[in-house]
Structure 1
Amino acid sequence: MLFNIFKKSNKKKLNEFLDENKDKVLVLELDKPIDCLCDFTYNFIWQSKFNPETKIKDEITFKTLVEHLKNNGIIYIKGNVGKRFCSSMGVDLKYFGGSGGRIKVGAVIVDGDVDTRFGISMLSGTVYINEKNNIKEPMGNVIEVESDIKGYRKFISITEFVEYRYKEEKVLKPNKFDEKRGVLEINDKIKRDTVGARLNEEKTIIVNGDVDLSTGILMKKGRVVVNGNAGKNTGAVLNGGLVIINGNTNDFTGFEMKDGVIVVDGNAGKYLGAKKKGGVIYAREGKEVPPTKKYNLDKNDMEFLKSLGYSGKFYKFL
């Protein structure tokens, strides 16, 4: 498989590989940081006038990069990259006529700094970043694993790791994975967006620390537990599974939620359940907006929360 192609490599072998496989490697040299490189959403094109055919340098366009990765190619970037690098990488987006699921994609190698929100909603692929360079937080749905290129850090999708790449990759301490229970525990205190994006297996992701935007976005199965506070859009477009925040969330919790359960052991913020279509939100506090309504708990609700270890005053938002 592509993500094992550099096994036991070193920097010299990497250079040799790039030279010997010119037909598979696309080299992009940047004069300045560019946002949305290798971004499968094309900067949320449905919300902007962004043109995927825009040339980045020479004849290389934003679409060129995405299509190259879809063809299992390798992109080697020399220079600093901007925001939202590798956003939704490996997603067969429904907006463009796809299934909304995972597709196999190639790898990206970066010799440069990486700006915020690298790997938001990333679902597959591999990213190598020179260990001498900086990565700004918040990061996205990515976790560092043991690298097979000397001098480069290796990142993959958190979702992809817990669903099946745990068989081939090893997370770095202080993070740990319990294969028997299917539980990934993230202890590195790196702030992330979109943790557990599109999770579709009965696996558990535990974050011991705060998270930022859109935790559990588009999940269908499994569980994400945050032992800390969360940012806006927690559980956005949730379509199943369980998201637990043992702290407060910012506004728009459960935005466009379709199914599943969100539990907030604190204040769930304003605009709670905006455009909500289904599912249940439990929170100690929160300011809902129509169509979502606030209810007292019934016996079944109390038993459910008790099974999760909660007691005291909660409300149900439907």
Structure 2
Amino acid sequence: MNIFGRKSKGKERDILEIDLSESVDCLCDFTYNFYWQHKGEKLAPEWKIADTDITFEDLVEHLKKGGTVKLNGNAGHRLGSSMGTDLKFFGGTGNEIDVGDIIVDGDVDTRMGISMVKGSIYVKGAVKEPIGNLIRVKSDMKGYKKFKSITDIMKNGMQGDKLEGNQLMGNRLIIDDGIVRDTVGSRLDEDDEIVLNGNVDLSTGILMRNGTVRVNGNAGKNTGALLNGGTVIINGNCDDFTGIDMIKGSIIVNGNAGKFLAANKKSGVVFAKNGSPIPPVKEKNLSSEDSNILLKYGFNPREFKKFE
């Protein structure tokens, strides 16, 4: 493994390169596999990667400085998780930050780029679904697929990139590529709309503060987790824990919102045709304001229950 600079399109690119004899999970994971939950039992920033002298923290800090991480071999699950977020738990601001890119000369396992808000990931091999908050753009590196954060595109535009198989029309992104994703619209804070035609997996709209995510299909667990504003719409059914730890905003489920609905919810409202809430959340009558919200998004208020 080496740290070195090289010329790329006339610009110096500081690359931290590491050889992987086997796939490793949570590389470039800014949360270190949710360190605050397991307190280092599953992963700690100072742990060394495989048989190298490079730590998991080295990769994250290198990206924060604008450097590129190059992985020679296969990456495991959760590559680039929350990439581009200056997490408060580690003394950061909680806001997005500019970061470098990841290049993978191999395959990548599931959940690549979950909750990712900045940077790009280039992959030479296959990427296993579900992926995270990512969308494919035309690659500027021959032989590699290039992925960018959906949230980054909604906030900062295409920045010279071109979408592959999807459409951006003003402040409306239409995703119709059939790829299953987690964390769609993670940390979105713009008055934009993301429309995804198909099914999604975990944590759609997690930590959103503004805007709308509309899924024309079914959703997995934790839909609208930690929602802090904006609206998440599922035109189908959800798995369990919809609205868990929700802070504010609206979730509309045009179907069954699942069990353990709104667990530990602080505020906000969930509209669904059916669902099993966790007390103290309970079913309530719709107000005229509630009806107007549902009508705004094309739904018949008479078909919905309100959980608050």
TM-score normalised per structure 1: 0.91
Q: CA deviation at 1:16?
A: 6.3
**Which residues in structure 2 correspond to 1:136-285 (within 5 Å)?**
136-173=128-165, 175-179=166-170, 182-285=171-274
- 1:304 to partner: Cα distance: 2.1
Q: CA deviation at 1:296?
A: 2.2
The structure-2 alpha-carbon separation of the partners of 1:177 and 1:267, relative to structure 1 and needing over 3 Å to count, comes to same
Determine the structure 2 residue equivalent to 1:317: 307
1:111–1:272 CA distance, 2 compared to 1 (3 A): same
Aligned to 2:7, the other structure's residue is in SS state helix
Which residue number corresponds to residue 27 of structure 1? Answer: 17
- CA distance in 1: counterparts of 2:231 and 2:30, whole angstroms: 26
Alignment partners' CA distance in 1, 2:279 and 2:226: 16
Q: Residues 129 and 154 of structure 1 are in contact (CA less than 8 Å); yes or no, is this contact kept in structure 2?
A: yes
Aligned residues: 298
SS of equivalent to 2:189: coil
**Are the counterparts in 1 of residues 239 and 259 from structure 2 also a CA contact under 8 Å?**
yes
Superposed displacement of residue 47, structure 1 = 1.5
The yes-or-no answer on 1:37 pairing with 2:27 is: yes
Gap runs ≥5 in structure 1: 1-14
* CA-CA distance at 1:170 after TM superposition: 1.4
2:95 counterpart residue number: 101
| Kept in 2: contact 1:119–1:141 (CA 8 A) | yes
1:53–1:261 CA distance, 2 compared to 1 (3 A): same
Counterpart of 1:54 in structure 2 is 47
Match of 1:295 among 259, 264, 284: 284
Q: Which amino acid aligns with 1:54?
A: W
Please report the TM-score for the alignment, with normalisation by the length of structure 2.
Answer: 0.94
SS at match of 1:166: coil
Q: Are 1:17 and 2:7 counterparts?
A: yes
CA contact (8 A) 1:117 1:140 kept: yes
CA distance in 1, matches of 2:15, 2:99: 13
Q: SS at the partner of 1:105?
A: coil
The question of whether the paired residues in 1 share the 8 Å contact of 2:13 and 2:68 is answered with no
Please give the alpha-carbon distance, in whole angstroms, between the structure 1 residues aligned to 2:162 and 2:257.
34
What secondary structure sits across from 1:226 in the alignment? strand
Q: 2:67 aligns with which of 56, 73, 76?
A: 73
Change (3 A) 1:167 1:25: closer
- Candidates 81, 84, 90, aligned match of 2:78: 84
Higher strand share goes to which structure?
2
State the match for 1:8 in structure 2: none
8 A contact 2:6–2:14 mirrored in 1:
no
Q: Which stretch has the larger CA shift, 293-302 or 270-279?
A: 293-302
> Take 1:165 and 1:107, find their aligned partners in 2: how far apart are those partners?
17
Post-superposition CA distance 1:170-213 (Å, at most 9, x none): 1112x10102xx00000001000000000011111000000000
Give the distance between the partners of 1:128 and 1:291, measured in 2 at CA.
46
Shift in Å at residue 63 of structure 1?
0.3
Q: Distance in 1 between matches of 2:13 and 2:188?
A: 34
Residue by residue over 1:100-159, the C-alpha shift from the partner in whole angstroms, topping out at 9 and shown as x without a partner, is 1100000111100000000000010111111xx110000000111111111111111000
**Amino acid of the residue matched to residue 197 of structure 2?**
N
In the alignment, the residues of structure 1 paired with residue 245 and residue 102 of structure 2 have an alpha-carbon distance, to the nearest angstrom, of 32
Structure 1 segments, 4+ long, off by >6 Å, are 20-23
Question: In terms of mean alpha carbon deviation, does 52-61 or 296-305 score higher?
Answer: 296-305
Letter of the structure 2 residue corresponding to residue 293 of structure 1: K
SS at match of 2:230: strand
Two-structure CA RMSD over aligned residues (Å): 1.6
Question: Shift of residue 22 of structure 1?
Answer: 8.7
State the Cα deviation string for residues 49-98 of structure 1 (Å, max 9, x = none): 22111111421000000000001001111000000000000001111121
Asked if the contact 1:276/1:291 (under 8 Å) is kept, the reply is no
The CA distance in 1 between the partners of 2:59 and 2:11, in whole Å, is: 17
Between the aligned partners of 1:213 and 1:23, the Cα distance in structure 2 is: 34
Code of the aligned partner of 2:169: D
Instruction: Tell me the amino acid that sits aligned with residue 163 of structure 2.
Output: V
Return the alpha-carbon distance in structure 1 between the equivalents of residues 159 and 29 of structure 2: 27
Rounded to whole Å, the distance in 2 between the matches of 1:297 and 1:241 is 19
